[in-house]
Every structure is written in structure tokens, then in C-alpha cells.
Amino acid sequence: MPQHHIIIGDGVTAAEFATTRKCNPDDSITIIGRDVANLGRGIAYASAPADAPWRYAYLLNSPARSVDIDFADWINKNWDYMVEVMSGRTPNWLEAAKHYSDAGEFASLNAPREIFGDFYRTRVLKKIEALRNSSVKVTLVAAHATRIERDGTGITIHTEDLQQFRADSVDIATGGPYNKRFDGDDGTHAYPELFGNEYPIAEKLQTGGNLVCIGSGAASLDLLRFYQSIKPESQIDFAVISTTGKILRALRPPINFKPTPFTLNGTFSTADDFLKEVFEQQRMALEAGATLYETRVGLRSIFLDKGVTGYVPNLTEARKIARPLFKHFEGGTRDSIEDFHALEQQGRTQVIAGNVQGITHDADHAHVHYLDENMQAQTFKACVVVNCAGPGLENRFDDLTTNMINQGLINICDQSGGLLVGEHGQTTMQGVRYLGPAVTSIGDSVEPVPLYDAFRLRRAVQRFNS
């Protein structure tokens, strides 16, 4: 009997669920997402309007080889196209790429995310066409799924616009957690996020004045790139307020890139013992001349065969590893971080250690209220404030994920703060699977860090569907 399968989402994971699923002729796949017409892009690899100054400004957080080795090969083969597309743009990506492109080391480049989206979406479209050619009916529905329920005959998906869809099975890939929110971050001079608010932010900044970013993670680097795309360097006035008082370290591969070999013998009884050994081996590698990026790539390789529990057999202890390991090895886009520090030397960027308490507004400015390192109340005046704080510990998810957590279909891990799903992504509702960047455990398998990585998400789905 033909089966009807629903996929919720419009990003990389949803596309992978759709295109690697084994289907029989006359089966149906319905894909539901806000921007499902651009299936495969999601927010991370979205396309900007052709005339937007910030088009192609946002870069991959990691070098191309870590995102998709096929994409790194594609850049190599299509370098003339990259030069054509990126010529004359601000910031000058081609100049920043020169150190690597002159050496033919294209896999080390932080390419524009939109171009990766073009690359991946082309593959998705070919696979969707192949499904249709094999008599699988594929339907795209632009809607926001909010609720799921099961009865004896199947699964029902409810959407925000009151549509209902019935299916035999469902895969859910709605993306990562939302930004932590602050009082006043959606006021006259403040925005709760960058993406989707570029035009009004640009309009405000055209008249001059400073820009304040809350948070120093990857989104803060996107905000800097956006700022550079709309204002000349001589007019940049950019402050970052974050709890760490630091921006990310740059993931900077050497020309002769070599992943750091980690040698971990035996097993560890606690997460702390494991982390201590990993950090010590990294310290020795850095002192011997390795880069942060080489240690990061080398560390990832040790989990390919044994997984985390191969080193830390106790599941509770293994789940404690994700958060500290992620923070310790966290890094960001080389181009943007180097620009930030160069502008810092000119007095055009700064990073302030502070715990933001809220934002108030007057007719012309926003006022960011924060506690400094000495827990003293301070205020920073800004023409525009953008929240780039990341999810923090709040676990604010989309409506459907929240509904699933409330039903106990998926759970929040007490150790990692991430999400727990069953083997092959199964939830406690029969026929429903879930995967997203916040997942830290799949059955008894523990992810060393949350799945904030297109390559790892795609590989996980491929394992599920095989």
C-alpha cells in the first residue's frame, strides 16, 4: 500500500530527510516549511535580494572542508565563478582569500554561505526530480507546523494557518533554538535578531551612529560583515557586549593543513577525566605549532569509530562532555575575526565584558543596561542594538519542537542541556523522528558536541535512512 510521509522544515536536515529516504513508486512525500520553496537553504544558507549590499557577506563559520568536502572541490573547479561573483564587494572577500587561493588551498576558505546554499540546493533539486521521475509524489507546502498528534490510524500535523495533514510517518527538522531574549530587544532602536531585519537596520545606520551587538558568538560576526557591507570602514562604530568579554578565536588553517592526532588509551570513568586528557593533548599540540583548527578537526576524527561512549562508557558521564567540549574548541570565521581585530586597532570596534539586563529607548537612542565584571550597573548608549546572544540556557524552540517537548516526545538532557532522541532519531511517538542542531544524544550514542554542522547533520540523516 502506498505510504504518505511528511517532513517538517526547509533547511539542510529536512532536505536530507526527503532526498535520502527509501520510497516505493506511488508513495507520497509532503514537505512543510515556511520557506519550503527554497528547500535546503533554511536560515543558515538563505539567499539575499540581488541588490542587497550584504548579499554574499555572511560566511561559513568553518573552512569549506569541514562543511562539505565536495563543496571544497566545487570551489576549486569553479574559482573563476567565485572571482566573478565576489569582485568589487565589500568587505573584500577575495583579498582575504588570497593567502589560500594563491596556494590552491581552496578547502581552507570560509566561503559565502549563500553560495554554499546554491551548491547544496542544486543537489537537492536534482534528487527531488529523481524522486518524481521514480513515481514518488513530492508536494511542497509553505506553512508553519505547530502541533503533532497521533491516533490509531496515523499522525496529524497542525499548522499555524489551521491546515491539517495526515501521514503514516513524519520526520521533523525545524532547526536550532532561538535567541535568548532581553527586555526591550524589540523596541524602537533594537532588533531581536539580524536575519530578516537587515533592511530596517541598514536604514537606521545610514544616518550615522553606532551599532551595539549583544553576544559574541558566530552571529556577531555576521553582524559585523553586514555592517561592513553597508558602511565604509571609516564610519564603523561597533561594540560587542558579552559575558566573556571576548570574541571567538579564528579557525585559521595553515597552508600545509594537518589534523592533530589525539591518542586516547583505554576508557575514562568521568567526563572530567576525559576532558582533562583531551585538553592536555591539545595544549601540547598548540605548543608544538598546531593551530586551533587543526586540533579541532583532529579531535572530531577520534569519535568516528568509537563514539563518545567508547571513551566514557557511563552514559550519564558521557553526556556531560558536549557543552564544555563545544565551548573549549569553539571558533569562528577567520576573515571576520581578523577584520574585527584590525578595526579594533583603529578604535572602530570594541568588546565589553557585561551581563545584559535589558534595553530601554528614548526618541533617538537605545540604552543597553548591563552588569560589568564587578557586578556594577552600567549603561551603553547606541543608535542601533541587535541581539546576537545565541540560545544561552533558555532552550527557546519553535512551536512544534516546544509542543513535542511538552508531550514528552523528545526530552532535554540534564547533563548537556541539548535534546535527546531515540535510536535513528525516533521520538516516543511511533513513526515520528526528530533531528536538529540542538540534539546531543541519539539513543545510546552521544554526540561530542551539539550538531551545529551541516556535514554532521546530513551524515546522521543518511545513517537513519540507510
- With respect to residue 50, please indicate whether it lies within any of the assigned structural domains: no
Interval 284-308 mean pLDDT: 94
Interval 178-207 mean pLDDT: 95
Residues 198 and 93 in one domain: no
- With respect to residue 342, please indicate whether it lies within any of the assigned structural domains: yes
Residues 102 and 123 in one domain: no
Residue 295: per-residue pLDDT: 97
Interval 366-379 mean pLDDT: 97
Interval 78-92 mean pLDDT: 97
Residue 271: per-residue pLDDT: 97
Residue 452: which pLDDT band, with cuts at 50, 70 and 90? Answer: confident
Residues 121 and 39 in one domain: yes
Residues 123 and 26 in one domain: yes
Residues 146 and 200 in one domain: no
- With respect to residue 39, please indicate whether it lies within any of the assigned structural domains: yes
Residue 111: which pLDDT band, with cuts at 50, 70 and 90? Answer: very high
Interval 344-360 mean pLDDT: 98
Query: Domain containing 234 — which CATH number?
Result: 3.50.50.60
Does the structure show a pLDDT above 80 at 394?
no
Residue 392: per-residue pLDDT: 82
Residue 303: per-residue pLDDT: 92
Residue 333: per-residue pLDDT: 97
Which residues span the domain enclosing 364? Answer: 190-248+331-387
- With respect to residue 255, please indicate whether it lies within any of the assigned structural domains: no
Residues 129 and 28 in one domain: yes
Residues 285 and 380 in one domain: no
Residues 373 and 459 in one domain: no
Domain boundary residue, one of 347, 362, 387: 387
pLDDT single digits (tens) 210-228: 999 999 999 999 999 999 9
pLDDT single digits (tens) 31-61: 999 999 999 999 999 999 999 999 999 999 9
Domain boundary residue, one of 328, 352, 372: 328
Provide φ and ψ at 182, rounded to 5°. Answer: -130, 145
Does the structure show a pLDDT above 80 at 66?
yes
Residues 405 and 358 in one domain: no
Residues 208 and 293 in one domain: no
Interval 385-402 mean pLDDT: 92
Domain boundary residue, one of 328, 344, 367: 328
Number of domains in the chain: 4
- With respect to residue 55, please indicate whether it lies within any of the assigned structural domains: no
Residues 93 and 209 in one domain: no
pTM as predicted:
0.95
Does the structure show a pLDDT above 80 at 393?
no
**pLDDT over 70 percentage in the chain:** 100
- With respect to residue 91, please indicate whether it lies within any of the assigned structural domains: yes
